[in-house]
Amino acid sequence: MSVTIRPLTLDDVPALTEVLVANRDYLAPWDPIRDDSFYTVDGQRKIISDVLRGGGSLPHVILVDGKPAGRVNLNNLVRGPFQSSSMGYWVSEAHAGKGVASYAVAELLRLAFTDYDLHRVEAGTLLNNERSQRVLVKNGFERFGMAPRYLKIAGEWQDHYLFQIVAENWLARQNDRA
């Protein structure tokens, strides 16, 4: 199995829409409630077009054996003295638990701290999303807090654990592995 990531383009819309439709029920416990138009090619084209035009995020597609299997994104990108972003990701059910998300997060962190010159990346998970927490910890994120009623997920405002990694800690991990 070959896993890669690359910047998201509008050419990815049809294949990603297909993955989203196939995984709608699987992803529902971790997602906001979505309008049916979200699961259409036209809906995804508008969403992705807006994201690409907006400039506040760096969206990437996760590819398994060359085919879209999810997304990994740097969102809420803030430059200046903050140099920070939040990370979000999802993978299809067929690829869950196989290291795909861990690889995608690792690769986007590499880009965040080298190519994109960020200082800090944060991520949040639902309190019961142990798989996602393992992905983050495996990649050097440290839990630094809990945000009550942080995001409206599955129709309810839900608490999230907050994680972060800073460039110096990421670099130290890379040097330890060398």
Neighbours of 12 (CB within 10 A): 20
Residues facing residue 82 across a β-bridge: none
How many helices and strands (H and E) does the chain possess? 6, 7
Instruction: Name the amino acid, one letter, at 164.
Output: Q
Residue 9, phi then psi, degrees to nearest 5: -130, 170
Question: In this predicted model, what pLDDT tens digit does every residue of 79-138 receive, in sequence order?
Answer: 999 999 999 999 999 999 999 999 999 999 999 999 999 999 999 999 999 999 999 999
Whether pLDDT at 40 is above 90: yes
Instruction: Name the amino acid, one letter, at 167.
Output: A
Query: What would the two tokens of residue 47 be?
Result: 């969403």
Q: Which domains does the chain have, with CATH numbers?
A: 3-177 (3.40.630.30)
pTM of the model: 0.95
Distance CA(102)–CA(32), nearest Å, equals 23
Residues 6 or more apart in contact with residue 49 via CB below 8 angstroms: 10
Whether pLDDT at 164 is above 80: yes
Q: How many CA atoms lie within 13 A of 90 on its CB side?
A: 13
Whether pLDDT at 178 is above 80: no
177 band by pLDDT with thresholds 50, 70 and 90: confident
pLDDT at 55: 85
Q: Mean pLDDT, the chain, as a whole number?
A: 97
Query: What would the two tokens of residue 15 be?
Result: 């294949």
106, 139 Cβ separation under 8 angstroms: yes
